Amino acid sequence: MDINGASAIVTGGASGIGAATARQLADKGARVVVADLQADRGEALAHEIGGVFVSVDVTSTEQIIDAVNTATDLGPLRALVNSAGIGWAQRTIGKDGEFESAHSLDAYRKVLAINLVGTFDCIRIAATAMSRNEFTDTGERGAIVNLTSVAAFDGQIGQAAYSSSKGGVVGMTLPVARDLSAAGIRVNTVAPGLIDTPIYGEGEAAEAFKAKLGQSVLFPHRLGKPEELASMVVELLTNSYMNAEVVRVDGGIRMPPK
């Protein structure tokens, strides 16, 4: 699918994998809406790539609709990348045997609200707009790529909430792709492994930690680069025969219990 001249939305697009994806989409001629809560980074990136920044909390349907309307003003919305998400780590029960120290349900609900429900809300709103598009020469109206995590498959100790949210995205991929097939919209999901993003911090200590972490990757023995993930995202958006798939991009790692 040719995205030159079309609009695209990247949630969580101000940094990390989202930012790398926004740059690569712009390189292919897409008019990118950077949808994020990080205004300074988002506006700077949008200026760099000739796109538009929109402040979006993916738990707000109204803000998602604003982003979609902004995109359709730029051109037909052909691409959505769901990269927004948060992490969380807490064991299911506490060490003291008290009910109060068990995993926070508020935290569990928040992680699912952002990572899972927010992703689905973006899909349903963006796909509605895509369904109004004219068909491309390849018979498509649009394509969607979700970012999940290898934690969907190899959840570690303390990742009950996070893995639930990411596993839900994996689980919805096929049925949503089936739902949207009649509208000419493809849906795929990418599951990143250990990726070098700002979450690890900066400085010598951070670099040493990342190097050690990279040794656990099957091959190559390093963290993945955001650009390597972005290239897979763009491939899934533009390859007209890729649909309803979940692709691990992880250097072959299988995460240990902790």
Mean pLDDT of 54-62: 99
* Euclidean distance between CA atoms 146 and 127, whole angstroms: 13
**Is the bond into 220 cis (omega within 30 degrees of 0)?**
yes
Asked if 174 and 244 touch (Cβ cutoff 8 Å), the reply is yes
Catalytic pick among 108, 162, 200, 241: 162
178 Cβ contact partners less than 8 Å away, ≥ 6 residues apart:
244
DSSP 8-state assignment for residue 195: B
Mean pLDDT of 107-115: 99
For residue 34, the SS3 value is strand
pLDDT in tens, 229-250: 999 999 999 999 999 999 999 9
Residue 201 has pLDDT above 90, yes or no: no
Based on the residue annotation, tell me whether 162 is a catalytic residue of this protein. yes
Q: What residues are paired with 10 via a beta bridge?
A: 34, 81
pLDDT in tens, 138-174: 999 999 999 999 999 999 999 999 999 999 999 999 9
Q: Which CATH class, in words, describes the domain spanning 7-249?
A: alpha beta
Q: Give the CA angle between residues 21, 23, 26 to the nearest 5°.
A: 110
Pairing of strands 31-36, 142-147: unpaired
Confidence of residue 199 (pLDDT cuts 50, 70, 90): confident
pLDDT at 177: 99
